[in-house]
């Protein structure tokens, strides 16, 4: 019970909380997300992995923010090859115009 200075009283009821076993629950999947970056290389469980494998591991986690960031990374990975084609085409077009 809380008693305020203006005379108002607030009473709280205690409710029983249901215990949930997180380790044995089917909904909870624990994913070890310790990823070590050494220079350009990424290591997961002492094995070298690439960016696509990293995206797959991150998508298996149950964290919504990690999943949204992994999806953004996956979309950006699909757009990356366009830069390798577009830049030489722009240079060629510029040379041909001059």
Range(s) of the domain holding residue 72: 2-97
Contact 73, 51 (CB under 8 A): yes
pTM: 0.43
* CA dist list (Å): 41 to 21, 38, 78, 90, 94: 37, 5, 20, 31, 36
In DSSP terms, which residues pair with 42 in a beta bridge?
37, 49
Q: How many distinct structural domains can be found in the chain?
A: 1
For the stretch 16-69, pLDDT in tens is 766 666 555 555 556 667 888 888 888 888 889 887 788 788 788 777 887 887
Which band of pLDDT confidence, cut at 50, 70 and 90, is reported for residue 11?
confident
């Amino acid at each position: 019970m809380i008693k305020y200075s203006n005379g108002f009283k607030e009473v709280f009821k205690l409710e029983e909380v249901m215990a949930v076993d997180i380790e044995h629950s089917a909904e909870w999947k624990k994913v070890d997300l310790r990823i070590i970056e050494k220079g350009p290389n990424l290591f997961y469980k002492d094995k070298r992995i690439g960016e696509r494998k990293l995206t797959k591991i991150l998508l298996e986690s149950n964290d919504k923010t990690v999943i949204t960031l992994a999806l953004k990374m996956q979309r950006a990975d699909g757009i990356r090859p366009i830069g390798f084609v577009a830049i030489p085409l722009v240079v060629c077009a510029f040379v041909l115009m001059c």
